[in-house]
Amino acid sequence: MTIKETIEEAKKVGVKDMSWKAWFMIITIISAATVASYYGVNVTMNIDLNTRLSMVEGLLTQPINSTFYTLQKESNYIVSVVKSGATTYYTLQNGTDGTLQWYSTNKTALHVAAAGNLTDGGLIYCKNQTWSSTVTLLNTVQVIESYNGTLRYYSNQGKFILPTLTADPSTATFGSEMHIWFNTADLKIKFWDGAAIQVLPSVGGGALNATLPFTWTFWKSGTTYYVENSAGSIVDSGSNFTTLFNARVTAAGSDDSFYFHSGTYSVDERLTVSKSISIIGTGYQSTIFEASSNAAGKDMIYLTSSAEFSHIKVDGNDYADAGILCSDTSDAFQIRNVEVTDCDDGIVLGEGGALLGGKVVTFRITSCDTYGLVISDGATDFEIYDGLISSSDHAMNAGAYIAGGGGTKISQIHFWGAVNAIQFDSASRIYFGTCAINDATQHGVVFVGATYDVVFVGCEFRENGDSANNTYSDFYVNNGITASRIAITGSLFFGGTSSATWTKYAIDIDAGTDDKWAVGFNVVVASTFGQPTDLFHNLNDADNKVDHNVGV
């Protein structure tokens, strides 16, 4: 590049945006002149060259905001973009002394170098480019990215540390500039918008300067629980969640909503829901009610009204009796999107009286000791669907224990791994649709008390009775028990994959029972049962109708 070309480029794009070639020419001329002067060399230049050098000197005396030359900056390092023709270069400048330390076409290499040099912490300004998010930062290093008119802040854990104040500051000197801080007294993030102090969403939640969508919001910080009202004000706090919860229910009105942020809430005593309110969490994997040792032998959630309980995990922690108990006065309750685990009984509907109606929808009951789901005597007309009842250690006595249930519809439930998947004890008028009854260690369905009017449609019975070969069946009616008007249609029976653990019968009615069964249009894989020539034991008489079954 010639001197003339250098001057033309400086005039056209400005000194701060000159190419490295132009800068190289300028530095070469100045260095040569300096050396010549030092050694007393008489350098004669023509008038045109002197004029051009004067122009260069004039440009250099202008305020410069160049990536190649600068005064001390607030950032420890500045990474900038320089384009030379079709090539994009990235420069690394030391913000302490203004020196250019490195340039490269590899942006990430410069980011790594800047982060690696800040062993004692500091600030990196990433100018006109995005930061390489894969670069490891120390906790004491922060990055400011300026790109396309947007500022972004990065640190090792994505943290942006706000000033922490015990009271709101005086705004007398704020003017129109925005200020932001965290108030530890009311646990709020606040900012000055140029005219007034505004409130960002609270630690517990909520919307900017708006009424929160829930009547009461619960959240936890450290070992302290907090309760906010719909205006975002903290109305109660303490270290005992059970006390806070029950006190708030007592003070609540009908149709109030209780929202629980993600976290683990320790339950010492029964949580009683005595009003028609909504108890809502963020999801059963993130909002967890967990029993403490003080809750040993106690129910965790006790619904005594037509309440809604949803999006929460109830963890009995091997202490609690029932995870959720619906009393005889909780008609029309709704339990949705929940998991109940490690209790004696999972969800219990009714206490022996006339509980009428309610829904259990989209749920998981896992690792309970006695029963997963209980429908008590006198409890009727439920809708129960879209769920899993499982026992990974095969210790649950029964996935479902049904002593009542008149008019109840149970569908799309996977029963897996319990000793008996379903146990009927004096039940009546129950409908099962598209359920899977699998891997019970003993019977798939067992009748231990007089039961009437039960229908199974489109269900799967697979590999039940696998704790002993040729011993247990998919359906078993105990000796002397009446199981009448039982219909099974459009279902699949598959006894097992190993001859060492075959299911004995598809249906086994012990002697002395008064049976009236209709069994038709089922698929029975005969070769997988221990008694392939008599898959429906004691059903071949005038009281029962057995036909149109494939593979019998």
- So what's the pLDDT on residue 203? 46
**Residue 518: DSSP 8-state:** E
Q: Kindly tell me if the per-residue pLDDT of 501 is higher than 70.
A: yes
Q: Give the CA count within 13 Å in the CB-facing half-sphere of 52.
A: 18
**Nearest by Cα to 278 from 300, 254, 308, 303:** 308
H-run or E-run covering 143: strand 141-147
Q: How confident is the model at residue 179 (pLDDT cuts 50, 70, 90)?
A: confident
pLDDT in tens, 462-475: 999 999 999 999 99
User: How would residue 65 be classed by pLDDT, with cut points 50, 70 and 90?
Assistant: very low
Query: What's the whole-number mean pLDDT along residues 225-234?
Result: 87
Predicted confidence at residue 61, as pLDDT, reads 42
Q: How far is residue 347's CA from residue 368's CA, in Å, rounded to a whole number? A: 10
Confidence check: pLDDT of 490 > 90 = yes
pLDDT of residue 37: 52
CA distances from 100 to 28, 72, 93 (A): 17, 12, 4
What confidence score (pLDDT) does residue 173 get? Answer: 76
Q: Which two tokens stand for residue 322?
A: 């029932």
Q: What local confidence, expressed as pLDDT, does residue 27 receive?
A: 62
**pLDDT-derived band of residue 196, with 50, 70 and 90 as boundaries?**
confident
pLDDT value, residue 231:
81
Number of Cβ within a 10 Å radius of residue 547: 9
Mean pLDDT, rounded, for 50-64: 48
Q: Which position has the token pair 């109708």?
A: 545
Q: Which of 222-226, 421-425, 506-510 has the highest mean pLDDT?
A: 421-425
Specify the pLDDT at position 72: 53
Residue 323: other Cβ atoms inside 10 A:
28
* E strand or H helix that includes residue 365: strand 356-366
Residue 149 pLDDT exceeds 90: no
Question: Which whole number is the average pLDDT over 108-113?
Answer: 92
What's phi and psi for 58, nearest 5 deg?
A: -65, -40
Q: What angle do CA 349, 353, 356 make, to 5 degrees?
A: 60
Distance, CA of 419 to CA of 439 (rounded, Å): 9
What's the pLDDT band for 36 if we cut at 50, 70, 90?
low
30 CB-near residues (< 8 Å, 6+ apart): none
pTM: 0.68
The pairing of strands 216-221 and 224-229 is antiparallel
Per-residue pLDDT, 85: 86
pLDDT band with cut points at 50, 70 and 90 for residue 62? very low
For residues 261-274, one letter each, b for 16 or more C-beta atoms within 10 angstroms of the residue's C-beta and e for the rest, the string is: bebebbbebbbbbb
**Cα–Cα distance measured from residue 20 to residue 23, given in angstroms and rounded to the nearest whole number:** 5
Tens of pLDDT, residue by residue over 407-458, are: 999 999 999 999 999 999 999 999 999 999 999 999 999 999 999 999 999 9
Rounded CA gap, 102 and 113, in Å? 9
CB 465 within 8 Å of CB 418: no
The confidence score (pLDDT) of residue 429 equals 96
Domain layout of the chain by residue ranges: 3-60, 77-155, 164-199
Q: What pLDDT is attached to residue 101?
A: 85
Lowest mean pLDDT segment, chosen from 160-174, 364-378, 496-510: 160-174
- Residues 6+ positions from 497 with CB-CB distance below 8 Å: 463, 528
pLDDT for residue 2? 63
Q: What pLDDT, in 10s, does the model give residues 324-378?
A: 999 999 999 999 999 999 999 999 999 988 899 999 999 999 999 999 999 999 9
Query: What share of the chain in percent tops pLDDT 70?
Result: 82
Distance of CA 123 to the CA centre of its chain: 33
CA distance 421 to 441: 9
Give the number of C-alpha atoms closer than 13 A to the C-alpha of residue 168, restricted to the C-beta side: 15
Q: How confident is the model at residue 111 (pLDDT cuts 50, 70, 90)?
A: very high
What local confidence, expressed as pLDDT, does residue 209 receive?
Answer: 42
The pLDDT mean for the chain works out to 85
Q: How confident is the model at residue 158 (pLDDT cuts 50, 70, 90)?
A: low
Q: What is the mean pLDDT of residues 164-187?
A: 79
Choice between 74 and 505, residue whose per-residue pLDDT is larger: 505
- Considering only CA atoms, which of 277, 268, 178 is closest in space to residue 225? 268
Distance CA 347, CA 313 (A): 12
- For 287-307, write each residue's pLDDT tens digit: 999 999 999 999 999 999 999
pLDDT of residue 43: 47
Under DSSP, is residue 265 helix (H, G, I), strand (E, B) or coil?
A: strand
Which residues does residue 360 pair with via DSSP β-bridges, in sequence order?
335, 384
Give the pLDDT confidence score for residue 188 in this predicted structure: 75
pLDDT (average), residues 28-47: 52
Q: What is the mean pLDDT of residues 214-240?
A: 90
Please work out, in degrees rounded to the nearest 5, the angle formed at the alpha carbon of residue 376 by the alpha carbons of 374 and 379: 115
Scan for tokens 């896992």, then name that residue: 366
Instruction: Report how far residue 190's alpha carbon sits from residue 167's, in angstroms, rounded to the nearest whole number.
Output: 11
Q: Cα-flanking dihedrals φ and ψ of residue 532, to 5°?
A: -65, -20
Q: What tokens appear for 20 in the block?
A: 């490295």
What secondary structure letter does DSSP report for 110? H
Distance CA 483, CA 10 (A): 99
Q: Would you give the end-to-end CA distance of the chain in angstroms? A: 95
How many residues are recorded in the chain? 552
What would the mean pLDDT of 137-159 be, rounded to a whole number?
78
Is the Cβ–Cβ distance between 499 and 505 less than 8 Å? no
Give me the amino acid identity at 499. S
Which residue did the predictor score with more confidence, 216 or 159? 216
- Cβ atoms within 10 Å of 71's Cβ, excluding its own: 10
In which band, very low, low, confident or very high, does the pLDDT at 25 lie, cut at 50, 70 and 90?
Answer: low
